[in-house]
Amino acid sequence: MPQRFQNFIDGRWQDPKSEKWFDRENPATGETLGTFPDSGRNDVGDAVAAAVKAQAEWQRTPAPHRGEILFRAAEMMVARKEELSREVTTEMGKVLKEARGDVQEAIDMTYYMAGEGRRQFGHVVPSELPDKFAMAVRQPHGVVAAITPWNFPLAIPSWKLMPALVAGNTVVFKPSPYSPLSAYNIVRILEEVGLAPGVVNLVFGEDDTGAALVEDPRVGMVSFTGSMEVGREIAAYCGRHGKRVHLEMGGKNAIIVLDDADVELALEGAVWSAFGTTGQRCTAASRLIVQRGLMAEFSDRLMARASTLRLGNGLDDSVEMGPVVNQPQLQKVESYVGIGVEEGATIACGGSRLKDGELAKGYFFPPTVFADVKPKMRIAQEEIFGPVTDLIACASLEEAVAVNNDVPYGLVTSIYTRDVTKAFKAMEGITTGIVYVNAGTIGAEVHLPFGGTKGTGNGHREAGIAALDSYSEWKTVYVDYSGRLQKAQIDR
Ligand code: NAD
């Protein structure tokens, strides 16, 4: 019998009042991993009430002490890294090596935010008046709703929970129904290291559960990572209700390869960035913009590598690419391949799901490369979120940058060149939130801001100090010790 999981509300694991449940399967084998609550509005309401009740006390807990609890959570993740990683692989399919990276990112973020407990710097500046003290300090929003996707089951929740907590917020966490096991694991760890009841609450569920959470008037801030379509719906609701909202959404990221590039390095970066996590990363390279002089060599060598990547269950060490996460995602990839063909692009390798042998039980789609892609085709503009990448030819650096920027998203760009002038010109002209020079589109580190422009975000950033700006607001405090009425701007 698969294990039955419960929600975590006010420090207690409990069945959902909705009395509804859903199953999650292993996308590589089809086997059921567990049964999870499909929470309703009552469950969400209880979780928010618990978070409201716990918030004042948590905010009064000195930030360094809040940080110490996170430090202990990071230590526990280190001790359980292998077990956590295997569960990431079994629930969403990424290969074990990458799952370990997912867990390591959560560890890094948790240690980093633990340190921020002693480093929530504000501003102290001279006042324009005598005998007056002027400063700005951070204050939490209150209750934060954390709504997450499935592609980084442990890392993304840690990007939200850890800065929200260290800043003094309490949290209601609604993970993706496709990665509930890791959500359970991270909350279990926070419980075990002694977080007080109500400080973090976990409600499992589908999209309606997320909507109920967004709409609860007691939630002060919504932090969402997921698709642009859902993010914009949430933003519209929050806009109408004056609610704080932080969005991290999709990408249509490109690698630019100039004629003078180190081809071997660029190829390695392209294969890793296009097909790592089966292309299901917001940072995946789904466009390869290659200068004409190098196109023939680059595309031949790319296809040779892509078509020999070994597919299978990510728990097998020799496997290089796992399955797509679920049936709808597989259908989405198939439909975009059809769209690409209709638009006149050529399938250079891959292109149809694996239907024979052991792998037929899972959602396996091979690495797929489209050649002859024009920048305005739908496959070059819309996020596919699967192992599909496009080869787009360009004449110059200027054209490559223009093509790169001309998409609805703005997360990551990378450029391969040996010419430092071109690298700096690209850095200046590229409009995405993240730029890599001579590295693929994957590889963000937790102590720098992460996020994107245009359809990728709404101006906030995850990670780094920027995360604290999302999870707190500035409170400016003036202390006048002159003993008389002083008037700013008037007494001069
Ligand atoms: P999704 O938008 O379908 O769902 C994300 C989360 O939102 C899930 O928990 C879902 O249940 C919930 N949800 C759905 N509808 C909702 C609603 N109306 N109100 C409230 N919550 C709702 O996305 P997904 O398929 O889980 O994830 C893939 C997407 O996430 C891709 O577009 C990818 O690019 C993006 N992503 C972005 C980043 C980033 O940092 N920019 C990182 C990872 C993934």
Per-residue pLDDT reduced to its tens digit, 310-349: 999 999 999 999 999 999 999 999 999 999 999 999 999 9
Residue 360: predicted pLDDT: 86
Pocket test for ligand 1, best of 41, 182, 230, 454 (most atoms within 8 A of CB): 230
Ligand 1 centre distance from Cα of residue 280 (Å): 12
pLDDT range class, residue 355, cuts 50, 70, 90: confident
Coil/strand/helix, residue 347: strand
pLDDT range class, residue 450, cuts 50, 70, 90: very high
Domains of the chain, by residue range, sit at 3-249+457-477, 253-437
| Ligand 1 binding pocket includes 433 (Cβ within 6 Å) | no
Tens digit of each residue's pLDDT (9 = 90 or more) over 231-245? 999 999 999 999 999
> Looking at the DSSP assignment, which residues form a beta bridge with residue 478?
134
The residue behind tokens 């007080």 is 196
Residue 216: predicted pLDDT: 98
φ/ψ bin of 16: left (φ > 0), alpha (ψ from -120 to 50), beta (otherwise): beta
Tens digit of each residue's pLDDT (9 = 90 or more) over 178-203? 999 999 999 999 999 999 999 999 99
Mean pLDDT over 288-311 rounds to 96
Ligand 1 centre distance from Cα of residue 304 (Å): 33
Ligand 1 centre distance from Cα of residue 484 (Å): 55
| Ligand 1 binding pocket includes 291 (Cβ within 6 Å) | no
Residue 120: predicted pLDDT: 93
Among 3.30.230.70, 3.40.309.10, 3.30.1360.180, 3.40.50.2300, name the CATH number for the domain at 253-437. 3.40.309.10
The residue type at 133: F
CATH number of 3-249+457-477: 3.40.605.10
pLDDT at 451 > cutoff 90:
yes
The CA distance from 33 to 181, in Å, is 8
CB 139, CB 36: distance < 8 Å: no
| Ligand 1 binding pocket includes 207 (Cβ within 6 Å) | yes
Mean pLDDT over 442-467 rounds to 96
Which two tokens mark 112?
A: 């980093």
| Ligand 1 binding pocket includes 151 (Cβ within 6 Å) | yes
> Which residue's CA is minimally distant from atom 12 of ligand 1?
207
pLDDT at 146 > cutoff 70:
yes
Pocket test for ligand 1, best of 154, 225, 278, 283 (most atoms within 8 A of CB): 225
pLDDT range class, residue 460, cuts 50, 70, 90: very high
> Which residue's CA is minimally distant from atom 8 of ligand 1?
176
Ligand 1 centre distance from Cα of residue 230 (Å): 7
| Ligand 1 binding pocket includes 67 (Cβ within 6 Å) | no
Ligand 1 centre distance from Cα of residue 338 (Å): 24
CB 258, CB 400: distance < 8 Å: yes
* Among candidate residues 357, 352, 388, the one with its CA nearest the CA of residue 373: 388
pLDDT range class, residue 160, cuts 50, 70, 90: very high
Instruction: Tell me which DSSP letter residue 451 carries.
Output: -
CB 35, CB 21: distance < 8 Å: yes
Pocket test for ligand 1, best of 227, 324, 326 (most atoms within 8 A of CB): 227
The CA distance from 250 to 26, in Å, is 24
Residue 356: predicted pLDDT: 80
Residue 388's φ and ψ, nearest 5 degrees, are -130, 130
What whole-number percentage of the chain has pLDDT above 70?
100
pLDDT at 114 > cutoff 70:
yes
The CA distance from 247 to 242, in Å, is 15
* Among candidate residues 250, 256, 297, 296, the one with its CA nearest the CA of residue 454: 250
* Among candidate residues 446, 443, 410, 448, the one with its CA nearest the CA of residue 429: 410
Residue 251's φ and ψ, nearest 5 degrees, are -150, 155
The CB density around residue 273, as the number of other CB atoms within 10 Å, is 28
pLDDT range class, residue 459, cuts 50, 70, 90: very high
Active site positions, annotated:
248, 282
Ligand 1 centre distance from Cα of residue 439 (Å): 27
b/e map 394-422, b = 16+ CB within 10 Å: beebebbbebbbebebbbbbbbbbeeeeb
CB 28, CB 314: distance < 8 Å: yes
Residue 410: predicted pLDDT: 97
| Ligand 1 binding pocket includes 382 (Cβ within 6 Å) | no
Locate the ligand 1 atom nearest the alpha carbon of residue 411 and give its number.
Answer: 41
The CA distance from 33 to 130, in Å, is 66
| Ligand 1 binding pocket includes 39 (Cβ within 6 Å) | no
Residue 1: predicted pLDDT: 67
Give DSSP secondary structure letters for 141-183.
-SEEEEE--SSSTTHHHHHHHHHHHHTT-EEEEE--TTSHHHH
> Which residue's CA is minimally distant from atom 15 of ligand 1?
207
What whole-number percentage of the chain has pLDDT above 90?
97
Locate the ligand 1 atom nearest the alpha carbon of residue 174 and give its number.
Answer: 9
Average pLDDT, the chain: 96
Locate the ligand 1 atom nearest the alpha carbon of residue 229 and give its number.
Answer: 2
| Ligand 1 binding pocket includes 225 (Cβ within 6 Å) | yes
Ligand 1 centre distance from Cα of residue 384 (Å): 14
